[in-house]
């Protein structure tokens, strides 16, 4: 019994392939403030949210990464709306790629960590043309804001 409990606790504490996302990430590019906050992984679940402030207006997104169909998936809920699932298709210690070819836009979400910098990219077909949007975040103190 002790061995079973110990194994369960170790599995719950084990890092996931996307544990590099954990933290408070801030982007101050292009006149907007974008924040992503990610928990550390707990029993295979990592929870996050994002807030964007642009032209004095705020928008938000809820997301999480969790076990899904024998792997992991990124589940996004922009504005708290319907959930969209993106399966983890590539993972290294510093990079994760999530895909959903059937989704309208985006079809691919990429995160890549480089030290205290986190780069995020979404891409896909929009109106018959490939579109790519990217963000570059820096690790910041909890609740930090862009200067100014």
Provide the 8-state DSSP code for 126. E
The label of the residue with tokens 């599995």 reads 11
pLDDT above 70: residue 11:
no
Backbone angles phi, psi at 136, to 5 degrees: -125, 120
CA-based nearest residue to 107, from 80, 91, 126:
126
Q: Domain segments of the chain: what residues?
A: 2-139
CA-based nearest residue to 77, from 62, 92, 89, 91:
62
Backbone angles phi, psi at 17, to 5 degrees: -65, -10
* pTM exceeding the 0.85 threshold for the entire prediction: yes
- Mean pLDDT, the chain, integer: 90
Query: Which pLDDT score is estimated for 10?
Result: 39
CA angle, 17 then 22 then 26, to 5°: 130
Q: Which CATH architecture has domain 2-139?
A: Beta Barrel (2.40)
**pLDDT confidence bin for 4, thresholds 50/70/90:** very low
């Amino acid at each position: 019994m002790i061995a079973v409990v110990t194994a369960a606790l170790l599995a719950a504490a084990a890092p996931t392939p996307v544990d590099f996302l954990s933290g408070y990430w801030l982007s101050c590019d292009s006149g907007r403030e974008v924040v992503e906050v990610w928990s550390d992984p707990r029993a295979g679940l990592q929870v996050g949210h994002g807030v964007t402030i642009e032209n004095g207006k705020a928008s938000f997104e809820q997301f999480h990464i969790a076990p899904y169909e024998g792997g992991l998936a990124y589940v996004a809920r922009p504005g708290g709306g319907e959930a969209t699932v993106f399966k983890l298709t590539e993972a290294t210690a510093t990079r994760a790629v999530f895909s959903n070819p059937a989704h309208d836009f985006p079809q691919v979400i990429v995160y890549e960590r480089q030290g205290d910098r986190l780069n995020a990219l979404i891409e896909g077909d929009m109106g018959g043309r490939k579109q790519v949007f990217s963000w570059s975040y820096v690790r910041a103190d909890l609740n930090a804001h862009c200067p100014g």
